[in-house]
Amino acid sequence: MEEGVTIWFTGLSGAGKTTLARLVEAELRALGHKVEVLDGDIVRTNLCKDLGFTKEDRVCNAQRIGFVCELLSRNGIVVIAATISPYRQVRQEVREKIGHFIEVYCKCPLDVVIKRDTKGLYRKALDGEIMSFTGISDPYEEPLAAEVILETDKETPEHCVEKLLEKLKQAGCLEEAHEIRTAQ
């Protein structure tokens, strides 16, 4: 692949974005691709630590991630962004700037992500200790036309990865069929 691509995972906190991004990263590296993962939590710590969680700051966060994705992907890198990015309009703007962009919606019901919450953030948000929490006191706008929808409460991680890899193949990002390593 001479041209890179951005694979943009979006979904609520706890929907499986980071887990799936790391699994996809491993598969693509095994196939010989140059891959970088921009995980939302890590990006906030290193690139966006000046931002809070207002709507404006969330927009700026997604725009910064999009800028880095654009730089890397135009240089032949497969960039995997795993970020809540709750607003459709910003995701669309990032898509338009990058061009070669695949939106992956990690769809998972609120009650399931609350049960999965190892950090206790949903509980704090529900108790009013955290304000402006996506899915509780702030909106999450589901994608209207994501290229891939992964129902992480119903599909295994391996199935989700295979489904995404098949989409990448159809989009011309993978040149041949393969067997998923994580299923072996």
- Give the span between the Cα atoms of 140 and 53, in whole angstroms: 13
Task: Give the single-character DSSP code of 182.
Answer: G
The helix (run of H) or strand (run of E) holding residue 105 is strand 101-107
Please tell me which residue in 73, 85, 132, 137 is annotated as part of the active site: 85
**Residue 64 main-chain phi, psi, to 5 deg:** -65, -45
Based on the residue annotation, tell me whether 137 is a catalytic residue of this protein: no
Asked whether the beta carbons of 102 and 10 are under 8 A apart, the reply is no
**DSSP code for 176:** S
Q: Which residues are catalytic?
A: 85
